[in-house]
Amino acid sequence: MENFNRELDPLDHQIAFYTSFGLNGAEVARKLGKNKSTINRRLHNNLLLAEINYRTNQLFDTYSGKFAILVHRVLDKAIENIDNGDPISFREVNEILKSFNQIYFKDVPYRDENAAYIAIKNYCRDFDIDANELATLARRIIEEEENNNKDKKKSA
């Protein structure tokens, strides 16, 4: 029977810290002075992914209320500028709306949720794709692969 290690190494905790703040594998490797492949290999550990999701969720819970207040103030200021006839650029409007979207319409994965499921859900929402159609397509591809594997086993 295999012995599974359920504890994270100190390096994993450092990776989780930097990754939860949005750094990618190459940036984390540069910060820690490690090889990029080492970091990316460790990022496939489910326990590390759960820790990253947990930390991301903590950050979201900590700052979402304050960020919501900030978004409301920015929207009020933008409306005030428009009412006064002051110019407001498309870029400013776009940044306001992106911030609003991130705080109100994004799902943040919890430790017990599947991060891939949340990512797919957000992707479908961002690109206006029907999640049911995507799931049907994925199921069809998986079934075709299973049938191909069965046919290979029968012919062998």
Token representation of residue 9 = 């190494």
Confidence at residue 1, expressed as pLDDT on a 0 to 100 scale = 39
Token representation of residue 145 = 């692969």
Confidence at residue 2, expressed as pLDDT on a 0 to 100 scale = 47
Check whether 124 has a pLDDT greater than 80: no
**Domain edges within the chain:** 1-44
Using pLDDT thresholds of 50, 70 and 90, give the confidence band for residue 39: very high
Q: Are 118 and 60 in contact (CB under 8 A)?
A: no
Residues 58-68 have pLDDT tens digits of 777 777 777 77
Cβ neighbours, 10 Å, residue 52: 22
Check whether 93 has a pLDDT greater than 80: no
Instruction: Sort 99 into a burial class: Cβ within 10 Å, 0-12 / 13-18 / 19+.
Output: middle
Tell me which of 1.10.8, 1.10.10, 1.20.120, 2.60.120 is the CATH number of domain 1-44. 1.10.10
What is the CA angle 30-58-47, rounded to 5?
60
Query: Any idea which of 31-35, 89-93, 98-102 has the lowest mean pLDDT?
Result: 98-102
Q: What string of H, E and C letters represents the secondary structure of the chain?
A: CCCCCCCCCHHHHHHHHHHHCCCCHHHHHHHHCCCHHHHHHHCCCHHHHHHHHHHHHHHHHHHHHHHHHHHHHHHHHHHHHHHCCCCCCHHHHHHHHHHHHHHHHCCCCCCCCCHHHHHHHHHHHHCCCCHHHHHHHHHHHHHHHHHHHHHHHHHC
